[in-house]
């Protein structure tokens, strides 16, 4: 299962996420759920970096499937929009494939 925790601040803005695990929907290389989540997550990070240029912290571990991302102080509305778009896409994957493969939780920080 891919476990994703999305962190929001007091203003309810999404400012960070932690994604870990593998979906287990199919064998490695054919797992469309894992691929879909990976594309959304990596595209969001790349978009923040290349299109918005906001500063962020990123920790990854390919063996565990860990991607830990957080915006640094001074982030823009553009980055917040990209993170809202990520959440929308992840909710769609969870709705279509089920909580058995994607766990999505929200925490206030």
Domain boundaries, the chain: 2-108
Class of 2-108 in CATH? alpha beta
> What is the reported pLDDT for 11?
94
pLDDT tens per residue, range 11-66: 999 999 999 999 999 998 899 999 999 999 999 999 999 999 899 999 999 888 89
Residue range 73-89: mean pLDDT, rounded: 97
pTM: 0.94
C-alpha span between 21 and 62 (Å, rounded): 10
Which tokens hold the place of 92? 């769609």
DSSP string across 22-75: ---SSSTT--HHHHHHHHHHHHHHHHIIIII---EEEEEETTTTEEEEEEPTT-
């Amino acid at each position: 299962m891919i476990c994703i925790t999305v962190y929001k601040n007091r203003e309810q803005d999404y400012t960070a996420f932690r994604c870990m695990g593998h979906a287990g929907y199919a064998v490695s290389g054919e797992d469309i759920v894992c691929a879909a989540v990976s594309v959304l997550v990596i595209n969001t990070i790349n978009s923040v970096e290349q299109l918005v240029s906001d500063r962020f912290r990123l920790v990854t571990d390919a063996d565990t499937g860990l991607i830990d991302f957080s915006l640094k102080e001074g982030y823009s509305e553009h980055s917040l929009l990209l993170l809202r778009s990520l959440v929308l896409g992840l909710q769609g994957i969870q709705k279509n494939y089920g909580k058995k493969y994607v766990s999505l939780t929200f925490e206030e920080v």
